[in-house]
Structure 1
Amino acid sequence: MVREEAEPYLWRGRFSRRRWTCDCDCGGSAVVREDSLLSGHTTSCGCWRDDVVRDRATRHGARKDDRRRPEYQAWQTMLHRSQDAPVCARWRAPDGKGFRQFLADLGRRPTRAHRLVRLDPSRPFAPANCRWVKNPPRAGVPRRLITVRGRRLTLRDAAAEAGIAYATLCKRLERGWTVKAALTP
């Protein structure tokens, strides 16, 4: 709705276009050139454009305060690792549908300690094979194994069994101590 005439638009020191102060339906206001009003080019104070941009940025509902949600990050990581393990077609759907299906199947991550885990590593990422698991064990091969009394243990397990700090065991081995000496409290 046009409220009043504003200062004229000057271009190269000459009067060029009339400008009008307009009130928007959202409660905001804007100063608009007359030709933009008459052509219908300007229809809001800018709030409509902001809404369109917000909708484009959140088409799958995964942005909050301009940060990616953990569920979206887990989904993206899963898709990027699809060379290692295939992902079901339902979760690979285009235009944000795949993420929405992923979210519908698994739900939001319950806590920060939960991680996305495949129950059977030999099967693909799919609703029946994935869960949010609290503090899952580290995947892959442990970085270092040592033999203690005929058993192969990770450094962390050996330190816990011996009753010493993991960092202490690592430092001792780094300095060249024997395994037996490093494991003494």
Structure 2
Amino acid sequence: MPRKIKVNKGDRYGRWTIIKEVEKLVGSRRFLCKCDCGTVKEVSLTHMRNGRSKSCGCYKKKKVTKHGEGHSRLYQIWCDIKQRCLNESCDSYKNYGDRGITFCKEWSEFKNFRKWALSNGYKNNLTIERIDVNSNYSPSNCKWITKSEQSMNRRNSIEITYKNKTKPLKEWVAILPDELNLNYNTIFSRLDRGWSIEKAFETPLKGCSQ
């Protein structure tokens, strides 16, 4: 059983200062806190610890006013990166933060991320991609690519478990019997249409409906 995190009156999380612990809400520990601007509010401990809640909202308003891009696409990309790396409630967290993927300290401020993006080819039709999918978001490990390139990269990294062994799909294709006459695109298309792995791998191309 995880040890209960010790939180004391006066502890700070972002712009919040702990006043006292209050009744839990849906299993989450909550605290009455005072923001630096004077606002008093109940806040989830989880949200304070993972950075989802840094203030009553005054801090976010201050940042938006400062760089003037609170509604820009680039700012949303930066927010999305932080969410999937830090927010346990985010649907993508299991593929990022839960795997230890985070972002460099330099990018904790949007202005630094923006400077890197604009100096490295950012355009509104491009998406951010990590060069090493097992490493963090940082200037040395990120680049801007088209959505079609990103889609192809994801296709190439698909892993399939077949007969109790897990390999990238492209490796499975290379070792399937030649008489099946199967290629990567055929199998990918079958799986995308809902075929079982066994059927997709074992049905010969000749004479089957594609």
TM bin, normalised by shorter chain, reads 0.3 to 0.5
Structure with greater Cα Rg: 1
TM-score, normalization by structure 1:
0.44
TM-score, normalization by structure 2:
0.40
Higher helix share: 2
